[in-house]
Amino acid sequence: MKCPICANWMKFSFEAKVLHKYLTQYEICDSCGFLRALEPYWLDEAYSSAIAAADTGLVGRNIMIADKIAGLLYWAAPSRGRGRYLDAAGGYGMLTRLMRDSGFDFYWSDKHCQNLMATQFEYQPGLGACDAVTAIEVMEHLVDPVAFVSDTLQHAGADMLIFTTELYEGTVPKPEEWWYYAFATGQHIGFFKRQTLHAIGNRLGLQFYSANGLHIFSREAVKPRIFNWATGRWTAQIGARWIRRRLGSKTVSDHEDILRFCGSQVGIESPP
Protein backbone atom coordinates (compact mmCIF):
# COMPACT_ATOMS: atom_id res chain seq x y z
CA MET A 1 0.00 0.00 0.00
CA LYS A 2 1.13 3.56 -0.71
CA CYS A 3 1.20 6.23 1.98
CA PRO A 4 -1.83 8.57 1.63
CA ILE A 5 0.35 11.47 2.75
CA CYS A 6 3.59 11.23 0.75
CA ALA A 7 2.79 8.40 -1.74
CA ASN A 8 5.81 6.29 -0.70
CA TRP A 9 5.39 2.60 0.02
CA MET A 10 4.28 1.48 3.47
CA LYS A 11 5.41 -1.67 5.23
CA PHE A 12 4.20 -3.90 8.07
CA SER A 13 4.96 -2.58 11.56
CA PHE A 14 3.08 -4.67 14.14
CA GLU A 15 -0.17 -6.47 14.97
CA ALA A 16 -2.57 -5.60 17.78
CA LYS A 17 -6.06 -6.58 18.89
CA VAL A 18 -8.66 -3.82 18.44
CA LEU A 19 -11.92 -3.68 20.39
CA HIS A 20 -10.58 -6.72 22.25
CA LYS A 21 -11.37 -8.99 19.31
CA TYR A 22 -10.06 -7.87 15.89
CA LEU A 23 -6.45 -8.76 15.19
CA THR A 24 -5.24 -5.90 13.04
CA GLN A 25 -2.08 -5.05 11.15
CA TYR A 26 -0.48 -1.63 11.43
CA GLU A 27 1.78 -0.29 8.70
CA ILE A 28 4.40 2.46 8.63
CA CYS A 29 5.76 4.82 5.99
CA ASP A 30 9.54 4.97 6.30
CA SER A 31 9.59 8.28 4.45
CA CYS A 32 7.20 10.51 6.44
CA GLY A 33 6.58 8.31 9.48
CA PHE A 34 2.81 7.98 9.07
CA LEU A 35 1.58 4.94 11.01
CA ARG A 36 -1.90 3.57 10.45
CA ALA A 37 -4.23 0.66 10.96
CA LEU A 38 -4.61 -1.31 7.75
CA GLU A 39 -8.23 -1.41 6.53
CA PRO A 40 -10.09 -0.34 9.72
CA TYR A 41 -13.31 -2.21 8.92
CA TRP A 42 -14.52 -1.97 12.54
CA LEU A 43 -15.17 1.80 12.54
CA ASP A 44 -18.98 1.55 12.44
CA GLU A 45 -18.82 -0.54 15.59
CA ALA A 46 -16.25 1.73 17.21
CA TYR A 47 -18.46 4.75 16.59
CA SER A 48 -21.70 3.26 17.90
CA SER A 49 -21.15 6.16 20.32
CA ALA A 50 -19.44 9.13 18.66
CA ILE A 51 -17.39 9.89 21.77
CA ALA A 52 -15.91 6.91 23.58
CA ALA A 53 -17.09 6.38 27.16
CA ALA A 54 -13.47 5.82 28.14
CA ASP A 55 -12.58 9.41 27.21
CA THR A 56 -12.66 10.62 30.80
CA GLY A 57 -10.29 13.45 29.95
CA LEU A 58 -12.81 15.19 27.69
CA VAL A 59 -13.82 17.99 30.08
CA GLY A 60 -10.37 18.79 31.47
CA ARG A 61 -8.81 18.66 28.01
CA ASN A 62 -11.32 21.12 26.58
CA ILE A 63 -10.81 23.60 29.40
CA MET A 64 -7.03 23.47 29.04
CA ILE A 65 -7.15 23.67 25.24
CA ALA A 66 -9.62 26.58 25.32
CA ASP A 67 -7.15 28.67 27.33
CA LYS A 68 -4.31 27.89 24.92
CA ILE A 69 -6.40 28.60 21.82
CA ALA A 70 -7.57 31.88 23.33
CA GLY A 71 -3.95 32.95 23.77
CA LEU A 72 -2.98 31.80 20.29
CA LEU A 73 -5.88 33.55 18.54
CA TYR A 74 -5.52 36.75 20.52
CA TRP A 75 -1.75 37.16 20.50
CA ALA A 76 -0.48 35.25 17.47
CA ALA A 77 -3.28 35.31 14.84
CA PRO A 78 -3.88 38.30 12.52
CA SER A 79 -7.49 38.85 13.65
CA ARG A 80 -6.42 39.25 17.31
CA GLY A 81 -9.42 37.22 18.44
CA ARG A 82 -12.02 39.37 16.70
CA GLY A 83 -12.71 37.15 13.70
CA ARG A 84 -15.07 34.25 13.07
CA TYR A 85 -13.94 30.73 14.00
CA LEU A 86 -15.11 27.15 13.49
CA ASP A 87 -14.56 24.10 15.68
CA ALA A 88 -14.65 21.27 13.14
CA ALA A 89 -15.65 17.81 14.38
CA GLY A 90 -16.67 19.69 17.51
CA GLY A 91 -18.25 16.81 19.42
CA TYR A 92 -20.81 17.86 22.02
CA GLY A 93 -20.00 21.53 21.44
CA MET A 94 -18.05 22.07 24.65
CA LEU A 95 -15.08 23.86 23.09
CA THR A 96 -17.36 26.12 21.05
CA ARG A 97 -19.22 27.08 24.22
CA LEU A 98 -16.02 27.69 26.17
CA MET A 99 -14.61 29.89 23.41
CA ARG A 100 -17.80 31.91 23.14
CA ASP A 101 -17.78 32.31 26.91
CA SER A 102 -14.30 33.80 26.47
CA GLY A 103 -15.50 36.31 23.88
CA PHE A 104 -14.62 34.56 20.61
CA ASP A 105 -17.17 34.26 17.80
CA PHE A 106 -16.94 30.47 17.53
CA TYR A 107 -19.22 28.06 15.67
CA TRP A 108 -19.61 24.28 15.65
CA SER A 109 -19.82 21.50 13.08
CA ASP A 110 -19.71 17.71 13.34
CA LYS A 111 -21.15 15.11 10.96
CA HIS A 112 -21.17 12.35 13.55
CA CYS A 113 -22.07 13.87 16.93
CA GLN A 114 -25.01 15.72 18.44
CA ASN A 115 -24.46 19.35 19.38
CA LEU A 116 -25.48 19.56 23.03
CA MET A 117 -23.69 22.64 24.37
CA ALA A 118 -23.56 25.09 21.45
CA THR A 119 -27.00 24.83 19.87
CA GLN A 120 -27.94 27.76 17.61
CA PHE A 121 -24.25 28.21 16.77
CA GLU A 122 -23.90 25.61 14.05
CA TYR A 123 -21.68 26.83 11.23
CA GLN A 124 -23.04 27.35 7.74
CA PRO A 125 -20.98 28.83 4.86
CA GLY A 126 -23.61 31.56 4.59
CA LEU A 127 -22.23 33.05 7.80
CA GLY A 128 -19.07 33.98 5.89
CA ALA A 129 -15.48 32.81 5.88
CA CYS A 130 -13.68 31.93 9.10
CA ASP A 131 -10.31 33.27 10.18
CA ALA A 132 -9.29 29.89 11.64
CA VAL A 133 -10.59 26.38 12.25
CA THR A 134 -9.88 24.16 15.24
CA ALA A 135 -9.85 20.34 15.11
CA ILE A 136 -9.18 18.94 18.55
CA GLU A 137 -8.27 15.25 18.78
CA VAL A 138 -9.50 14.60 15.26
CA MET A 139 -6.48 13.75 13.08
CA GLU A 140 -5.86 10.34 14.67
CA HIS A 141 -9.43 9.30 13.72
CA LEU A 142 -9.01 9.87 9.98
CA VAL A 143 -8.49 7.51 7.09
CA ASP A 144 -7.32 10.41 4.89
CA PRO A 145 -5.83 13.28 6.94
CA VAL A 146 -4.76 15.26 3.87
CA ALA A 147 -8.30 15.37 2.47
CA PHE A 148 -9.66 16.40 5.88
CA VAL A 149 -7.29 19.36 6.20
CA SER A 150 -7.92 20.52 2.63
CA ASP A 151 -11.70 20.08 2.73
CA THR A 152 -12.09 21.66 6.17
CA LEU A 153 -10.16 24.80 5.27
CA GLN A 154 -12.05 25.10 2.00
CA HIS A 155 -15.44 24.62 3.68
CA ALA A 156 -14.70 27.36 6.21
CA GLY A 157 -12.85 29.64 3.81
CA ALA A 158 -10.02 29.69 6.33
CA ASP A 159 -6.25 29.97 6.06
CA MET A 160 -5.37 28.39 9.41
CA LEU A 161 -6.10 25.04 11.05
CA ILE A 162 -5.30 24.66 14.75
CA PHE A 163 -5.32 21.06 15.92
CA THR A 164 -4.12 18.58 18.50
CA THR A 165 -2.87 15.03 18.23
CA GLU A 166 -0.20 13.19 20.20
CA LEU A 167 3.02 12.68 18.25
CA TYR A 168 5.53 9.90 18.53
CA GLU A 169 9.28 10.34 18.11
CA GLY A 170 11.97 8.00 16.84
CA THR A 171 10.95 4.41 16.30
CA VAL A 172 7.35 3.24 16.41
CA PRO A 173 6.19 2.76 20.03
CA LYS A 174 5.48 -0.83 20.99
CA PRO A 175 1.77 -1.64 21.23
CA GLU A 176 1.94 -2.15 25.01
CA GLU A 177 3.94 1.03 25.62
CA TRP A 178 1.82 3.85 24.17
CA TRP A 179 -1.59 4.66 25.59
CA TYR A 180 -2.52 6.76 22.56
CA TYR A 181 -3.11 3.72 20.37
CA ALA A 182 -6.40 3.30 22.30
CA PHE A 183 -6.91 -0.20 20.91
CA ALA A 184 -9.83 -0.83 23.27
CA THR A 185 -11.98 1.90 21.68
CA GLY A 186 -10.95 1.27 18.06
CA GLN A 187 -11.27 4.95 17.13
CA HIS A 188 -7.59 5.92 16.78
CA ILE A 189 -6.38 4.64 13.43
CA GLY A 190 -3.62 7.06 12.32
CA PHE A 191 -0.51 8.30 14.13
CA PHE A 192 2.00 10.99 13.29
CA LYS A 193 5.52 12.20 13.77
CA ARG A 194 6.46 15.85 13.42
CA GLN A 195 7.88 15.08 9.98
CA THR A 196 4.52 13.53 8.98
CA LEU A 197 2.77 16.80 9.69
CA HIS A 198 5.46 18.71 7.82
CA ALA A 199 4.76 16.40 4.86
CA ILE A 200 1.03 17.21 5.00
CA GLY A 201 1.80 20.91 5.09
CA ASN A 202 4.19 20.66 2.18
CA ARG A 203 1.68 18.75 0.08
CA LEU A 204 -1.01 21.39 0.67
CA GLY A 205 1.23 24.43 0.52
CA LEU A 206 0.77 25.17 4.23
CA GLN A 207 3.32 26.15 6.84
CA PHE A 208 3.50 23.94 9.91
CA TYR A 209 4.10 25.05 13.50
CA SER A 210 3.95 23.22 16.82
CA ALA A 211 4.23 24.31 20.46
CA ASN A 212 2.85 23.22 23.83
CA GLY A 213 0.62 20.48 22.44
CA LEU A 214 -0.98 22.65 19.73
CA HIS A 215 -0.20 22.29 16.03
CA ILE A 216 -0.94 24.72 13.21
CA PHE A 217 -1.25 24.53 9.44
CA SER A 218 -1.31 28.05 8.04
CA ARG A 219 -1.05 29.84 4.72
CA GLU A 220 0.30 32.88 6.55
CA ALA A 221 3.43 32.98 8.68
CA VAL A 222 3.06 32.63 12.45
CA LYS A 223 5.73 33.98 14.78
CA PRO A 224 6.99 30.88 16.64
CA ARG A 225 8.15 32.79 19.74
CA ILE A 226 4.77 34.43 20.24
CA PHE A 227 3.01 31.12 19.56
CA ASN A 228 5.15 29.35 22.15
CA TRP A 229 4.72 32.11 24.73
CA ALA A 230 0.95 32.54 24.23
CA THR A 231 0.21 28.83 24.64
CA GLY A 232 2.48 28.12 27.60
CA ARG A 233 0.72 26.63 30.59
CA TRP A 234 0.85 29.60 32.96
CA THR A 235 0.58 32.27 30.28
CA ALA A 236 -2.51 30.59 28.86
CA GLN A 237 -4.26 30.28 32.23
CA ILE A 238 -3.61 33.84 33.32
CA GLY A 239 -3.97 35.29 29.84
CA ALA A 240 -7.34 33.61 29.19
CA ARG A 241 -8.94 35.54 32.04
CA TRP A 242 -7.48 38.83 30.78
CA ILE A 243 -8.59 38.10 27.21
CA ARG A 244 -12.12 37.29 28.41
CA ARG A 245 -12.37 40.70 30.05
CA ARG A 246 -10.85 42.37 27.00
CA LEU A 247 -13.14 40.77 24.41
CA GLY A 248 -16.25 40.48 26.58
CA SER A 249 -17.85 37.12 27.23
CA LYS A 250 -20.74 36.09 24.99
CA THR A 251 -22.41 34.00 27.72
CA VAL A 252 -25.19 36.47 28.53
CA SER A 253 -25.69 37.83 25.01
CA ASP A 254 -25.91 34.28 23.63
CA HIS A 255 -28.47 33.43 26.31
CA GLU A 256 -30.59 36.42 25.30
CA ASP A 257 -30.25 35.66 21.59
CA ILE A 258 -31.35 32.05 22.11
CA LEU A 259 -34.38 33.17 24.16
CA ARG A 260 -35.37 35.57 21.38
CA PHE A 261 -34.97 32.83 18.79
CA CYS A 262 -37.05 30.36 20.82
CA GLY A 263 -39.72 33.00 21.35
CA SER A 264 -39.89 33.78 17.65
CA GLN A 265 -40.37 30.08 16.87
CA VAL A 266 -43.55 29.92 18.99
CA GLY A 267 -44.81 33.42 18.21
CA ILE A 268 -43.90 35.02 21.55
CA GLU A 269 -42.96 38.67 21.28
CA SER A 270 -39.55 39.38 22.80
CA PRO A 271 -39.32 42.09 25.45
CA PRO A 272 -37.66 45.33 24.32
The pLDDT value given to residue 69: 97
d(CA 248, CA 251): 9
Domains and CATH numbers, the chain: 57-183+194-256 (3.40.50)
From first CA to last CA, the distance across the chain in angstroms is: 64
Helix (H) or strand (E) holding 216: strand 214-218
The pLDDT value given to residue 264: 66
Residue whose C-alpha is closest to residue 19's, from 190, 181, 173: 181
Give the residue with greater pLDDT, 10 vs 265. 10
Angle ∠(118,121,125) on CA atoms, nearest 5: 140
Angle ∠(86,91,94) on CA atoms, nearest 5: 75
d(CA 56, CA 75): 30
The pLDDT value given to residue 270: 46
Residue whose C-alpha is closest to residue 192's, from 166, 154, 157: 166
The pLDDT value given to residue 271: 46
* % residues pLDDT > 90 (the chain): 85
Helix (H) or strand (E) holding 36: strand 35-37
**Residue 55 confidence class, pLDDT cut points 50, 70, 90:** confident
**Cβ neighbours of residue 25 under 8 Å, at least 6 residues apart?**
12, 13, 14, 15, 37, 38
Average pLDDT value for the chain = 93
pTM of the model: 0.93
**Residue 161 confidence class, pLDDT cut points 50, 70, 90:** very high
Helix (H) or strand (E) holding 129: none
**Residue 60 confidence class, pLDDT cut points 50, 70, 90:** confident
Q: At what angle do helices 94-101 and 251-265 cross, to 10 degrees?
A: 120
